[in-house]
Structures are given as C-alpha cells and as structure tokens.
Structure 1
C-alpha cells in the first residue's frame, strides 16, 4: 500500500514546523495525552520540501511502514494490513504487560524451565542461570537487548501467573489497544505451536510502538546499546548488548526491537529522532534471517524521509 505524497509532505512538514519552532520536545511528547487523544495539527508550508521520489528505493521487506512517531500517522507503507509472523518483536508486548503490572524492583527467580525452553526451541538467550534472582527491571534489559527468550519466559511465568495466563494478558492488551490483526501465542515470539501462531501487521506494530515508546521505562530499556549487571548475592554478572544494529549505527535511533525466525525472517521495529522529528517504522521479512539487511531497509526508509528535511534546516 502506498500513501499519497501529499499526505507525506503535510505530516512531515508539520513535524518540521514543530521542530524548528521548538513547540515541543520529544520528552514532552512522551508525557503528553494518550495516543487516542492526540490530533495532528497541520500548517501549510511556505515552500515545498524537495521530495524526489514517492517512496523509498531499494526496500526489500515485503511488509513495511514508516510513520510519524507522535501520532502514528503512516507516511509510507507496503502490505500495511497483511498479517505475518513477527518473531521477537512480540517481546515489545511482553515488556508492556510486565511494565503495566508495576513494581519493577520485584525480585524474580529464574525457573529451570526457562533454560530448557530456550534450548528446546533454539531461542536466543540472555545467559540466565536457573535459580538466580533478578528484578523485573533487570529482566527487561535481559529480554530486550540480547533478545533473551529465557528472560521472556521468566517474566511470563512470574506475571501470568504461568505462560497461558501471561499470553492471555498479551492478547487482552492487544485488543485494548485496538490491534485487531495481532495475535500472540508465545511471550518470545517463537514459532510455538506453529510458525504463524504469533503474527501482526505493519499497521498494528506501528500503533504498538507508539504506545510502547510513550512509556519512559520502555524507552530507557529499548534505547540502551549495552547493559552491565554486576554479580550480586543471588545473581551472576551479565553484560548484555543490543541486537539492534540500527541503534548502534544510525544517528538518532532510540530503539526498539529486532526479530528473527525461519518463518518471520529478519524483522525490525525502530524509532529515530533527527532534527527533533520522531519517525517510527517497521520492516518484516527483509531477508530469510540477515539482520543487517533489515537494518539496511530501515536506513533507506529513514534517509528517504529525513534527508530532504535535514538538508533544508538552518544548521551551520
């Protein structure tokens, strides 16, 4: 699906007016009214921005979208409403359910089954050990940065209670957010019980990302490149590094989550802020499993939107 260039110009130009006029900072936006209550206010620009193409060139992903990071208004998309497997992007919802439960300093014991779950399903691991005790906040880093399926399982077990109870909460939250084309069957997004059991659409994932990134705790975790947990009385030392290459390499990137399974291919849900303008995007199945190609797709989309804007800013 392709959104008309006129809408693209209006939305991004309005964001540019806000950025240059310093009407609001990203931090103020994050603490503003709920998403549903926000209405974009467009102003007619005096000059046209130099858009050279109607869409980003060279994007491989069959499913993709780029949106205004404040309202979620889609600027460009491809297969916007087609549901497909999303792999570990599902962990964004796992984080939201855990954060919504409160008490981020709650101590949680890693169950032995979380390790067996990773091994059995060939899931990515944060290197947790059965029996060690971490807080919810620490487990969020363990889940989001190295994409630890052991951490996701541990959080689900604690906050469900149990896997089934937690998955029900994930789906209840999806319905509450109006994500009608999204379904969760596993807290990690692993292909359990089948390849396509956990799925979503670019449209729903943009809406989920806008919700998630409006929460300071989530933004803090999703935007971290590394996290060091010193050894303590009940835990080993851990050093976690993000799997999000865009966060490490593209200026202005502030999150949020990678994903990869055989069924989902390489996926990336991302947000970047340049010149004060937040953009949220997603690419689904950019390649059979190469995260670098998903990152490249995201770069093409972001450069397409930002370059004509940044080149016109009065920056010395």
Structure 2
C-alpha cells in the first residue's frame, strides 16, 4: 500500500503512545517486500523479456549494437519456416561447396556429406543443434532466388533483413546466413535479438528443434546407401536449468560467447539474451532466476557434451 503524506502523518499519530510519545515499529516499517535486486552478469549486453506480454524483465546495454555470431541462425531458420508453402520433407542434395565453406572458415559443422539427400527438416536440426554452417548454407542456397549459389545466398540474406524490418528492429542487420561476417555488418542488440527469438519461438517446428538435446536421423547417401547423422545441441542450458526450452548458442572472435535462451515454469515463459559473456550459462540462469523468483543458478550443474560433439 502506498500512503500519501497526509496518510503517513495519520498513521504516525495513531502509533503515538501516551507514555513517552514512542512510535510503534509498524508505523515506520519498510514496504512488506522490497523488489529483488537485479543480478550482476558477465555479458557486456543482456536482456530478458516476458514472452506473453513482451514486457522487459531485465536489461543491460540493451540497445547497444554487437556482433551476434551463430545466434544469427535463429533468423535463418525463422525465415525458412515462415516461407509460404514450405515443405519440411523437401529433399536437398548436399553440395561440395558447403563442406569447402566450413573448411575454409574453420566453422562449426553438421558434417554433411557431399551427395547426400537430406530433408529441410533435417537441415533445421543440423543448423540449430551442432550449429552447422554447412546446413545453414544449404538452406540459404535452397530458399534464396537467383541463378548462382552466390545470388541465392545474397537473396536469402536479403530476406533475413526484410524480416528484421518487418519486426521493426532498427538496430539489427545481417550480412551473413550463419554469423560469419566478413565486414562486421552482422549485428544486433540484446533487445532486438530477444524479439527475434520471441518471434521464432511462435513456430511449433522451431520449438521442437531447439528443445532437443540431441537428434539422430538417417539420410539417403550416394549409391543407394544410408547414412546416419547424430547431432548434439550445443546449448548446455538444456537439461541443466529446470524449465529450459531452448534456444541457440554463438561464439565468435568479435562477438565473444553468446547465448539466446528460454525457459518455462508454470504459465510463465521468459526469453533472454547474453552477448559477449564469459560465463553465459551462469548469466542466463541468474537472469531466469530473477524472472522466476528462484535460486536455481546457485546449484546448477551444466550438461556435458560428448567429446566428439561440436562446441559453439
């Protein structure tokens, strides 16, 4: 209850005693419960929002532009899934160019093999779980338009920027389909990236992919053979923080360690971002605890990845 100045005087007057004009403890008591202090995080930028209302729960340098590394792939997949008439069972033939690209860039990979026929759905998992830049390349090449691979990937990046404009994100720009930026013109802010994540998470197929800790699938290989792919989710918050439901890691020289995350407890879902954070998982747990009013971060033990799994 908030008292007016006059109300305070009345409350004090009632509390006066005839013995010595002493005030009772209740008259000058502090508010019943002070708001929880905002957590301290290592991330140079961070943001947390309520998924249902979009209300800001936490912000740190929320509107400062930063590189976003492979969290870029959230928009890559969002564009694919929101393509009119998208067929997730459509077959895509893996090109040698996709493998050459990850070798040249030293990029994270789904280890797609040349000549294999994989579905769009499989490419979603290959892009988001092991953060495969080869899988992202395949999607950009498939869903862009133009006569050449270069034309098609450029067209696809244009679609990513068009979606950012549609979402009214004034501090976000893409020059890459996977976060590998030659000129540094691939940036966002914690607030904008949280909004991209909030948008992406509206799609049931996206939610299904990012909540999976691993995915095993088979694809048609050349000479009528079958190849098995097994991918592990680089997001170690999954299986570590109670209620975590996604969504994407990212690491780059300029970007530093990044994490976009989401969790649900009861009827509340929170979506957050940590950019360039030396302890991104602990940061995320602290922010989620702040939003949920819990203390999970203090005892959280991170899920470990197999030795041969991709790191991002």
Q: TM-score, normalised by structure 1?
A: 0.77
User: Would the aligned equivalents of 1:50 and 1:308 in 2 still touch at CA under 8 Å?
Assistant: no
Q: Are 1:166 and 2:149 matched, yes or no? A: no
Unaligned 5+ residue runs, structure 1?
1-47, 288-292, 311-316
Q: Are 1:298 and 2:298 matched, yes or no? A: no
The number of aligned residues is: 255
1:308 deviates by 5.2
Q: Match for residue 63 of structure 2?
A: 81
1:96 deviates by 0.9
After superposition, the Cα gap between the structure-2 partners of 1:124 and 1:50, relative to the gap in structure 1 and judged at 3 Å, is farther
**Residue of 199, 215, 237 corresponding to 1:246:** 237
RMSD of aligned alpha carbons: 1.8
Runs of 4+ that moved beyond 6 A:
none
User: Would the aligned equivalents of 2:194 and 2:272 in 1 still touch at CA under 8 Å?
Assistant: yes
SS class of match (1:204): helix
Q: Match for residue 132 of structure 2?
A: 148
Q: Match for residue 186 of structure 2?
A: 198
Q: Are 1:72 and 2:77 matched, yes or no? A: no
Q: Are 1:271 and 2:262 matched, yes or no? A: yes
User: Would the aligned equivalents of 2:62 and 2:191 in 1 still touch at CA under 8 Å?
Assistant: yes
Matches within 5 A, 1:105-144: 105-144=89-128
Based on CA coordinates, which of the two structures has the bigger radius of gyration? 2
d(CA) in 2 for partners of 1:279, 1:49: 26
Q: Are 1:213 and 2:201 matched, yes or no? A: yes
* Superposed CA offset, 1:209-250 (max 9, x none): 111111101111111111101254555210001000111311
SS class of match (2:71): helix
d(CA) in 2 for partners of 1:257, 1:166: 20
SS class of match (1:246): coil
SS class of match (1:96): helix
* Superposed CA offset, 1:28-62 (max 9, x none): xxxxxxxxxxxxxxxxxxxx9955533113x1001
Q: TM-score, normalised by structure 2?
A: 0.78
1:100 deviates by 1.6
After superposition, the Cα gap between the structure-2 partners of 1:104 and 1:256, relative to the gap in structure 1 and judged at 3 Å, is same
Q: Are 1:54 and 2:44 matched, yes or no? A: no
**Greater helix share, structure number:** 1
Q: Match for residue 305 of structure 2?
A: none
